[in-house]
Amino acid sequence: MTTYRSILTVSILSATLAVAAAAREVISIDGSSTVFPISEAFAEEFQIETRTRVTVGLSGTGGGFKKFCRGETDFTGASRPIRKGELEECRENGVEFIELPIAMDALANVVHPDNDWAQCMTVDELRRMWEPEAQGTITNWNQIRDTFPDAPLRLFGAGVDSGTYDYYTFALTGVEHYSRGDFTATEDDNVTVQGVSSDRNAFGFLGLAYLDENRSRLRAVTIRQEDGSCVGPSVETARDGSYQPLSRPLFMYVNASALDRPAVQAYADYMMDPENGVFLVEEVGYVPLPEEAFEMGRAKIKARKTGSYFDGGSEVGVMIEDLLAIE
């Protein structure tokens, strides 16, 4: 990132002037473990030239919304849209927010590199692996496909407060939180990386950035599409929408009243600057939205356009062009 700092100088200097009056103020960010690398990258760059402290927590999407809707944080990252129950909690507490799509992601199914059998799997096979009925009954690989080995199936994935868990279960079963419970669940994707990379019989799911950081330790399983092709998770397949049903948008939510504080306004403007946004999202391994999307985010912030575009919760098949159509 240091090579990019000269490019960021102008926007950082602008941010510095904007926050001078609130030099020791703390900006608080929490939320999704998937969005965490993005939040951390923005926070690190913003703090380099300003005296504003930015804290970045990692409570998961659900845990992040709980804090956010209680008015405890200024921003929260989310790997799914805000749910109806969370919307209601925000309303009850008088918290109005601006919803900002910030990136696209591809959820990756991963195995140990020595796993030579799980190459391309169908959505139905993934569903049978993860649905509640599988708990205590689907415990070996050959129960997923009879050509797979008679070997124990050990599962790792996102914790139940995670938007990644919500989206993954919804994409496979049609219902959020509808899954077996006998797997190693964690809000820290590095736990999944460690678990799968140390066990030839393990299977897990996590965000694209964590896969890209650990390609020597993990192998992605492709998904058979309706046309019969096998498509894997990548920046390209998330961007063009060909990796289904596990491509999804990522979000940042900002407390609208917090924007009255100059430091928070400066940070929001910095985050939605197209030059900063496109580079930093790509730098941490996610799919940046077009510059147009960041400009739209800036316009929403300027107009204080609050509320959610979505019906509440996960939606499968949302693509970049859908996000650009949001008014």
Q: Give the pLDDT score at 151.
A: 98
At residue 285, the 3 state secondary structure works out as coil
Q: Give the pLDDT score at 11.
A: 53
pTM for the whole structure: 0.83
**60 domain residue, yes or no:** yes
The whole-angstrom separation of Cα 236 and Cα 240 is 6
- The answer to whether 187 and 33 are in contact (CB under 8 A) is yes
**244 domain residue, yes or no:** no
CATH number for the domain spanning 99: value is 3.40.190.10
- Domain boundary residue, one of 170, 198, 232: 232
Shared domain for 128 and 185, answered yes or no, is yes
What does each of the 327 residues of the chain score in pLDDT, given as a tens digit? 444 444 454 455 455 544 444 456 899 999 998 899 999 999 999 999 788 999 999 999 999 999 999 999 999 999 999 999 999 999 999 999 999 999 999 999 999 999 999 999 999 999 999 999 999 999 999 999 999 999 999 999 999 888 899 999 999 999 888 999 999 999 889 999 999 999 999 999 999 989 999 999 999 999 999 999 999 999 999 989 899 999 999 999 999 999 999 999 999 999 999 999 999 999 998 899 999 999 999 999 999 999 999 877 677 888 778 887 776
Q: Give the pLDDT score at 15.
A: 52
Q: How is the beta sheet containing 53-56 ordered, strand by strand?
A: 53-56, 26-31, 75-78, 247-255, 97-106, 287-288
Q: Give the pLDDT score at 305.
A: 96
Strands (E), the chain: 26-31, 53-56, 75-78, 97-106, 108-111, 120-121, 154-158, 184-186, 202-206, 219-224, 230-231, 247-255, 287-288
Shared domain for 100 and 112, answered yes or no, is no
**243 domain residue, yes or no:** no
- Domain boundary residue, one of 232, 265, 290: 232
**35 domain residue, yes or no:** yes
**87 domain residue, yes or no:** yes
Domain interval for residue 88: 2-104+249-324
Rg of the chain on CA atoms, in Å: 20
**309 domain residue, yes or no:** yes
Other C-beta atoms lying within 10 Å of the C-beta of residue 312: 15
Shared domain for 129 and 215, answered yes or no, is yes
Shared domain for 124 and 81, answered yes or no, is no
Closest by CA to 253, choosing from 15, 106, 74, is 74
Question: What is the tens place of the pLDDT at every residue in 181-218?
Answer: 999 999 889 999 999 999 999 999 999 989 999 999 99
Residues in the chain: 327
Q: Give the pLDDT score at 4.
A: 47
Shared domain for 115 and 93, answered yes or no, is no
Shared domain for 196 and 255, answered yes or no, is no
Shared domain for 219 and 113, answered yes or no, is yes
Instruction: Kindly report the backbone phi and psi dihedral angles of residue 102, in degrees, each rounded to the nearest multiple of 5, phi listed first.
Output: -125, -20
